[in-house]
Amino acid sequence: MSDQKRQHPVMIILEMIKNFMYGLPTLFFFTLAIAEDIRSTDITLFLWILIIFTIAFFAYSVLKWYLYTYMYEDGYLHIKRGLIFKTERSIKRERVQTVNIRSGLLQRLLGVATIQIETAGGGVESEIILSAVKVEETHRIKSYLENYEPHVTHDNHEEGLESEYEKTATYVVPLRDMFLAGATSGRFMLLFSLIAAVFSQFYPYIPENFMTFLIEQIIPASDTDILLILTVLLLLLFLSWIISILAFMVQYADFTILRQDDYLHVSWGMIEQKQFSLTKDRVQALSVKEGLLRQPFGLCALTSEVAGGGFKEQNYITIICPILHKSKVNAFMEKLLPEYRIPKSLEPLPSRARKRYLFRALAFVLILVIPLQTVPYGWLSFMLLLPAFLLGLSRYRTGGIDITGKQLTFQFRNINRYQILMIQNHVQSLEISSNPFQRRSDLSTVKASVLSSPSGKNFKVADVDSMEIRKIWEWFSRS
């Protein structure tokens, strides 16, 4: 139980910073608009307008802080806010889906954190955010809403966590695995394009003598333009790769997963620290993703489709573990997610489905290749047929399904390889479809839907043998 409380006065500073970020562009153009001559714009005018806006932002932030109060008692969280349009809300503890805590670098320096409360409903009004609450207070609210024993003070919070760790299952991603995750994430390609674009703007201003000297140090007696371009591209690619690794390791630093009764707690981050919790019933499906760069090393990532994630689409997909060796996935699940299991083997697709996978992969490329034959060197585009053939063959060999107890498993490939694990009572609908060409080969496509995003999330495997389709249908009908 608690009395009416306000957030930390630091909220005023945070609100002012946010208002300035949104308001400064408008302020700048407003100053130019009222000036008689842009070239003779009086700096004093701009400063006076800046002072007026600062006072207005400060007054608004103080009012917002003063009028925003909260209280938790008798199983409810009560919120009051607003000046002209006042809003009062009471949220029952049983309706709370998750209580997430995050703190940026500035917030940690000021000793506060943001607590985000998501409730059943999934709309805009289902989310409550307290942006400046003392760290110990965020844990008291979290403990209260999740019906745990509250941590009395911030000083003994770490001791409380240690005692919880002794009672529950935990997993901390090792630093070596985090490095491998960053090295194989594939983010460096996007970063490479950005760095290359920036470099192209500054390249004309780099002295030619300096570039020639640099290339000669790397490739002796080399003065060809092609080698110069290739060397620059390789250096930029390597720089992008290193930066992407460091950025990944900073973003997911100290990634920790904790299982406590029916709750799963996940925390990570160095600059911006995040913590979130969800119950096992909210996990609608588990996705084991093997990226193209990670498959040779036997690495994968685990994400979950979450019911009632919030208004933003990304809140419906929750990362469970950013990197994990495929051979250790079952041990990880047995410890933290015992409801799920990677099957030992899957029912592969029938051999008669191979030609359909190859046709789909090659037909798409041929649509692009044939028109290119009208341009010079268009015949080089036929080189795309080999990777398309290999991709189609890999998709066929990857495809498979499995039913083990109450779990349905789909395996398929786009570019990356996926295994989707779904519990029987979480499958919202099952759809079986077949076109005339599939019926000739006694094949069908199976699609399972789970409750995740507002429109649901669908997973499908094409060209499954009709006998296996009947097994899946009977399994789902028994639910």
pLDDT digits (tens, 9 = 90+) for 205-264: 566 666 566 555 555 544 455 666 677 778 878 888 888 889 899 989 999 998 887 888
222 & 314 share domain: no
Residue written as token pair 């809140």: 315
The answer to whether position 431 is within a domain reads: yes
Last residue of a domain, one of 333, 367, 396: 396
One-letter amino acid of 76: Y
> What percentage of the chain exceeds 70 in pLDDT?
78
pLDDT at 311: 44
425 & 293 share domain: yes
333 & 365 share domain: no
pLDDT level of residue 391 (50, 70, 90 thresholds): very high
For residues 434-442, give the mean pLDDT: 92
Residue written as token pair 């919202």: 428
Alpha carbon distance 452, 310 (integer Å): 10
Least Cα distance to 26 among 58, 51, 60, 53 occurs for 53
pLDDT at 473: 92
Alpha carbon distance 448, 221 (integer Å): 61
Residue 276 has pLDDT above 90, yes or no: no
| Range from 31-45, 138-152, 256-270, 380-394 that averages highest in pLDDT | 380-394
pLDDT at 186: 77
3-class DSSP string for 104-154: CHHHHHHCEEEEEEEECCCCHHHEEEEEEEEHHHHHHHHHHHCCCCCCCCC
Of the listed ranges 142-156, 253-267, 299-313, 413-427, the least confidently predicted one is: 142-156
pLDDT at 196: 61
116 & 34 share domain: yes
pLDDT at 81: 87
The answer to whether position 172 is within a domain reads: no
pLDDT at 301: 94
Buried b (16+ CB within 10 A) or exposed e, 261-297: eebbbbbbbeebbbbbbbebebbbbbbbebbeebeee
pLDDT at 317: 65
Higher per-residue confidence, 342 vs 43: 342
pLDDT digits (tens, 9 = 90+) for 301-356: 999 988 765 444 445 568 899 999 999 999 999 889 998 999 988 999 999 999 99
pLDDT level of residue 270 (50, 70, 90 thresholds): confident
pLDDT level of residue 103 (50, 70, 90 thresholds): confident
Please tell me what DSSP assigns to residue 350: P
Alpha carbon distance 198, 203 (integer Å): 9
3-state helix, strand, coil in the chain (%, to 5): 50, 30, 25
The answer to whether position 325 is within a domain reads: yes
116 & 231 share domain: no
> What percentage of the chain exceeds 90 in pLDDT?
29
294 & 383 share domain: no
Contact 308, 334 (CB under 8 A): no
215 & 109 share domain: no
Last residue of a domain, one of 251, 285, 307: 251
Last residue of a domain, one of 167, 190, 205: 167
pLDDT at 441: 92
The answer to whether position 174 is within a domain reads: no
pLDDT at 162: 41
- Classify residue 132 as exposed, middle or buried by CB count within 10 Å of its CB (0-12, 13-18, 19+): buried
Report the domain count for the chain: 4
Alpha carbon distance 97, 315 (integer Å): 12
pLDDT at 147: 64
Non-local (6+) Cβ contacts of 31 within 8 A are: 41, 45, 46, 49
pLDDT at 239: 84
pLDDT at 158: 40
142 & 42 share domain: yes
297 & 202 share domain: no
The mean of the pLDDT values for the chain is 81
Least Cα distance to 186 among 267, 295, 324, 303 occurs for 295
Residue 150 has pLDDT above 70, yes or no: no
The answer to whether position 381 is within a domain reads: yes
What count of other Cβ atoms lies within 10 Å of the Cβ of residue 165? Answer: 13
471 & 408 share domain: yes
What count of other Cβ atoms lies within 10 Å of the Cβ of residue 420? Answer: 21
11 & 58 share domain: yes
pLDDT at 204: 61
| Range from 143-147, 183-187, 344-348, 475-479 that averages highest in pLDDT | 344-348
pLDDT at 442: 93
pLDDT level of residue 440 (50, 70, 90 thresholds): very high
CATH number of the domain bearing residue 63 = 2.30.29.30
pLDDT at 392: 94
263 & 408 share domain: yes
Residues constituting the chain: 479
Alpha carbon distance 114, 353 (integer Å): 52
Residue 397 has pLDDT above 50, yes or no: yes
What count of other Cβ atoms lies within 10 Å of the Cβ of residue 90? Answer: 11
pLDDT at 455: 64
The answer to whether position 245 is within a domain reads: yes
The answer to whether position 214 is within a domain reads: yes
The answer to whether position 89 is within a domain reads: yes
Helix axes 10-34, 43-67, angle to 10 degrees: 150
> What one-character-per-residue DSSP string does 75-95 give?
TEEEEEE-SSS-EEEEEEGGG
For residues 440-455, give the mean pLDDT: 86
pLDDT level of residue 203 (50, 70, 90 thresholds): low
pLDDT at 447: 95
Of the listed ranges 74-78, 256-260, 409-413, the least confidently predicted one is: 74-78
Non-local (6+) Cβ contacts of 408 within 8 A are: 401, 402, 421, 422, 423, 424, 427, 448, 472, 475, 476
Residue 149 has pLDDT above 50, yes or no: no
Range of the domain at 363: 351-396
